[in-house]
Amino acid sequence: MTSDTNIQMLLIGEPSKAFVDKDALGRLPCRICTNAAEGLDVARSGGFDVVAVVISGVRSGLESILRTLRRVSPRARIVLLAQMYEEPVAMQLVASHGGLADDYLICPLDAARVCELVAGPRVIGVRSASAAPTAPPALAPEVAERIRHLEKLATEDDLTGLKNRRYIMEFAGQIIEHAGAGGGQVTLLLFDVDNLKSYNDTYGHLAGDEVLKQAAVLMRRCCRRHDVVGRIGGDEFAVVFWDAPLVRSGAAKSERRTAAGEHPKEAISVAKRFRAELEKTELPGVSPKAKGILTISGGLASLPHDGSTVEELFRQADKALLEAKRGGKNKIYLVGEPKGDIANIE
């Protein structure tokens, strides 16, 4: 990033898909190209410190576009502007080999603040219609870090580092709407840790917290990168398995589903793998006596077979979870299949 406070930004994509006040972009040092091909041509001219790409506006060939941007504008910081349901994709692109993007922001954004966010601790002046650009004092690094910390608290569970209930509900709502429009697949897994109350009563809540953190680590390890794992309260967790056209471009349009409940095979496979990992994991706890086999009970509900809204999927998955508990625990049931633990499904 240059030391000049007038950071030049190139925006590729439709502003209305990213900003609540897109007209305010005209008061910022920002060049807008709604067409990706035009944006790449403009990027070749250089002179931009930041190139922001609206994912929703350039879904076709996104990786190719980012590779080209890296080549033609190597000094620019590439920032993805993503809807909440696109965050897993944005995370993948930032973490990808070679770093196709440097960072991402969740939309909708306030245009008056976007340059502050992409520039890090530096704040860029916003000019009025009759005034020349001015640069206010730099945002202190500790203040910028505090802002990031507060944003993190709003979406993450502080014990496990997983997404929190608020995030899961909003994400699931967006991805269900997106999947319904584009033929994507969504499966919700709700699960809780069996007998955690007894474990807490015997070994203390610190040991119980270690169990929850261990379960979180294992589940994230078993899931695909773009699936979203959250702790939604107490010992209860949720996983949103999803396959939308955006992620599956270049792949088959749909997976084969199992006969029982028409759930995607991938979700069942991950749930089985997770249970197996839990059963062979030694629990560290905070006491040498705090050991045992960790098991879970859960329920799976899938779009559109079991519901078409967030509320319906949660209600159906929770019903299957309760059936699993009544069935002796250490089971994951499919909605409508109370006799069919996923362990019996090939």
69-73, 180-184, 240-244, 313-317: the lowest-pLDDT one: 180-184
DSSP assigned state of 20: T
The residue written with tokens 């202190």 in the block is 140
* Domain residue ranges in the chain: 9-155, 165-344
**Confidence grade of residue 148 (pLDDT, cut at 50, 70, 90):** low
Q: What are the structure tokens assigned to 89, written together?
A: 């994709």
Mean per-residue pLDDT of the chain? 76
Between 117 and 17, the higher pLDDT residue: 17
Report the candidate in 62, 59, 56 with the shortest Cα–Cα distance to residue 16: 56
* Residue 188 and residue 231 in contact, taking contact as beta carbons nearer than 8 Å: no
Superfamily of domain 9-155: Response regulator (3.40.50.2300)
**Bridge partners of residue 80, in order along the sequence:** 53, 104
- Model pLDDT, residue 134: 35
CA-to-CA distance for 252 and 207, rounded, in angstroms?
44
H or E segment and range at residue 229? strand 228-233
Between 153 and 326, the higher pLDDT residue: 326
CA-to-CA distance for 266 and 264, rounded, in angstroms?
5
Q: Treating both helix axes as pointing N-terminal to C-terminal, what angle do 265-279 and 205-222 enclose, rounded to 10 degrees?
A: 140
**Confidence grade of residue 177 (pLDDT, cut at 50, 70, 90):** confident
**Confidence grade of residue 345 (pLDDT, cut at 50, 70, 90):** low
Mean pLDDT along residues 223-250: 79
- Model pLDDT, residue 104: 87
149-174 pLDDT, tens digit each: 556 667 889 899 999 998 899 888 88
User: Is the pLDDT score of 137 beyond 50?
Assistant: no
CA-to-CA distance for 45 and 345, rounded, in angstroms?
57
75-89, 103-117, 238-252, 295-309: the lowest-pLDDT one: 238-252
Q: What are the structure tokens assigned to 346, written together?
A: 């090939």
Give me the percent of the chain exceeding a pLDDT of 70.
Answer: 71
Mean pLDDT along residues 279-301: 71
DSSP assigned state of 190: E
Tell me the one-letter amino acid at 239. Answer: V
* Residue 185 and residue 175 in contact, taking contact as beta carbons nearer than 8 Å: no
**Bridge partners of residue 334, in order along the sequence:** 300, 337
**Confidence grade of residue 247 (pLDDT, cut at 50, 70, 90):** very low
**Confidence grade of residue 135 (pLDDT, cut at 50, 70, 90):** very low
**Confidence grade of residue 340 (pLDDT, cut at 50, 70, 90):** low
H or E segment and range at residue 149? helix 141-155
- Model pLDDT, residue 278: 80
Mean pLDDT along residues 45-51: 86
Mean pLDDT along residues 77-90: 86
Using DSSP's 3-state secondary structure scheme, residue 332 falls into strand
* Residue 101 and residue 138 in contact, taking contact as beta carbons nearer than 8 Å: no
- Model pLDDT, residue 152: 62
- Model pLDDT, residue 312: 93
Between 178 and 337, the higher pLDDT residue: 178
- Model pLDDT, residue 246: 46
Mean pLDDT along residues 279-307: 74
**Confidence grade of residue 287 (pLDDT, cut at 50, 70, 90):** low
Record: fold of 165-344? Alpha-Beta Plaits (3.30.70)
**Confidence grade of residue 12 (pLDDT, cut at 50, 70, 90):** very high
Mean pLDDT along residues 204-211: 85
* Residue 242 and residue 254 in contact, taking contact as beta carbons nearer than 8 Å: no
Share in percent of the chain as helix, strand, coil (round to 5) = 45, 20, 35
- Model pLDDT, residue 49: 87
Question: Rounded to 5 degrees, what are φ and ψ at 101?
Answer: -140, 155
Q: Count how many Cα atoms sit within 13 Å of the Cα of residue 312 in the half-sphere of its side chain.
A: 11
- Model pLDDT, residue 23: 75
* Residue 6 and residue 29 in contact, taking contact as beta carbons nearer than 8 Å: yes
178-202 pLDDT, tens digit each: 777 666 788 999 999 888 888 888 8
Which residues have a Cβ under 8 Å from the Cβ of 204 and sit 6 or more positions away? 286, 287
Using DSSP's 3-state secondary structure scheme, residue 159 falls into coil
The CA-based diameter of the chain, rounded to the nearest angstrom, is: 72
- Model pLDDT, residue 254: 39
CA-to-CA distance for 134 and 284, rounded, in angstroms?
56
